[in-house]
Amino acid sequence: MFKLAKTLLSKMIPKGKNKQIQKSGKESTNFLAQGNITINNGLDYDDVKQICNDLFRENFLILQHEAENTIRQRLDEFTANLIVALKSESQINLDAAKDPDLQFAIYTSQKEYARSGKVDLLNLLTNLLIDRFKSEDHDFKKIVLNEAIQVANKLTKQQLNIISLVFLSAESAKVIINVISFENYLKTFLPFCEDFKGGLYDFRHIEYVGCGNIPFIGSKFTDHLKANYGGVLSKGFDLDEIKELPLTTEQFKQLIIPCLRNNKKFQINALNHTVLEESGRKLGLDTEKIQILKKLQDNYVYTEEEILELLASISPILLTLNTSWNTTNLGHLKLTTVGVAVAQANITRITGEKYELNTWLNAS
C-alpha cells in the first residue's frame, strides 16, 4: 500500500496541552484549539527534498546492504536532479507536492530510476515530473503525465527515438516560414536518426505500452514532405500560368509571392493545401479557384529525386531516415497522448527544446 510522505504530516504539530498561545511563522496560519496547532501552507525546496526522501523510505523494499547503498545513491541523484530542475523554472508551484497523486508520480519516478540507474532515464523522468508539477489545474494533463511516467522505463533508446521522430515529423507544429526555417526543422531529426534500427517488434512494443498505434494508411517520406511543406519545396512558375484565373488585386497580393527558391519565378503563398484552403476562403475564393491554385502548387513542387538531393545536401543521415520511413512502420505510427508526452520529454532531454503539452491535449 502506497504511503504518503511524513513531511506533510509534520506540518501540523501540537505545541502543548491546555495552552492557547499562538505563534505564527513565515507562510503559516494559526487555528485556536485545545493546544496550539500550526499549519504551514507553503513548501520550500527543502520540504520537497524531504518529501522525496520520505516517499522512498516509506514505500521501497528493504534490500541487502550492497544493493541498499546503490539505491540510496540513486535516490540522492534523483532528488538532486529534481531540485535543480525545479529551481531552473521561473514559475513553479512547490505546494503541488502536497498532492497525493503527485507524490505517487514522484515515487514512481524514484522507483524506476532506482531500478535502472540510467542517466538518460533520470533526465527523462525529471522532465516529465516538471510538467507534472505544472499541471495541477489540468486533470487530463495529469492523467497523461502519470501514465507517461509509468511507461518511460519500458521503452528502449531505439523506441524513444522512434516516437521522437514521429512527433517531430507529424505532431511538432513547427512554424515554417521560409527555406532556412524548413531546413533547420529537418536538422532537428538528426539526433534521433543515427544508428536507426527500428524493427517490427519495436513498433509492436510501442503499441503494447500505449504510446502509439499503427493504422493502415501511410505515405513515403518524400510524399509526406510534399503534402505538408510543399510551399517551401516549390520550383516556381511564370505568371502566365495564372493569367486566366481572375483574382482581385488583394487576392493576388495575398496568394502569389516570389518563389522562395527562385526569385525569377512565383509561387503560391501557402505552406500546404490546408493553409491554402483557409486563406482562400478568407479572401472570398470559391471552391473551383482554390482547386486550381492547389493543382498549380502541386505541379511545381520538387520531385522525389529533387527532395532526396535536398536531404542529402543537409545531411546524409536524412537519407537514412527516408529509407527507414519507407521500409518500417515509422511512417504509419500514430502517437497517443501518452506517446506525445514521452516524445516531448525525450526531445527536450536531447535538444533542450521545450514544448507545451497543453497545445496537443487541447487539440485532441
Average pLDDT over residues 114-134: 94
* pLDDT confidence of residue 132: 94
3-state SS record for the chain:
CCCCCHHHHCCEEECCCCCCCCCCCCCEEEECCCCCEEEECCCCHHHHHHHHHHHHHHHCCCCCHHHHHHHHHHHHHHHHHHHHHHHCCCCCCHHHHHCHHHHHHHHHHHHHHHHHCCHHHHHHHHHHHHHHHCCCCCHHHHHHHHHHHHHHHHCCHHHHHHHHHHHHHHHCCCCCCCHHHHHHHHHCCHHHCCCCCCCHHHHHHHHHCCCEECCCCCCCHHHHHHHHHHHHCECCECHHHHCCCCCCHHHHHHHEEECCCCCCCEEECCCCHHHHHHHHHHCCCCHHHHHHHHHHHHHCECCHHHHHHHHHHHCCHHHHHHHHHHHCHHHCCEECHHHHHHHHHHHHHHHCCCCCHHHHHHHC
The Cα–Cα gap between 219 and 56 comes to: 47
Give 65-74 pLDDT, tens digit per residue: 567 788 889 9
Name the grid cell of 49.
527534498
The Cα–Cα gap between 308 and 188 comes to: 17
21 torsion bin: left (phi>0), alpha (psi -120 to 50), beta (else): beta
Average pLDDT over residues 225-239: 96
Name the grid cell of 189.
531529426
User: Is residue 219 scored above 60 in pLDDT?
Assistant: yes
User: Is residue 115 scored above 60 in pLDDT?
Assistant: yes
* Sequence spans of domains, the chain: 45-154, 157-226+305-363, 234-300
Start-to-end CA span in the chain (Å)? 34
User: Is residue 257 scored above 50 in pLDDT?
Assistant: yes
Give 178-205 pLDDT, tens digit per residue: 999 999 999 999 999 977 888 899 999 9
User: Is residue 1 scored above 60 in pLDDT?
Assistant: no
Give 126-175 pLDDT, tens digit per residue: 999 999 998 877 889 999 999 999 999 999 999 999 999 999 998 776 78
User: Is residue 334 scored above 70 in pLDDT?
Assistant: yes
Give 34-77 pLDDT, tens digit per residue: 444 334 457 777 877 777 777 666 666 555 556 778 888 999 99
Tell me if 89 sits within 8 A of 130, measured CB to CB.
yes
Instruction: Please indicate whether residue 32 or residue 41 has the higher confidence score (pLDDT).
Output: 41
Tell me if 36 sits within 8 A of 14, measured CB to CB.
yes
* pLDDT confidence of residue 270: 97
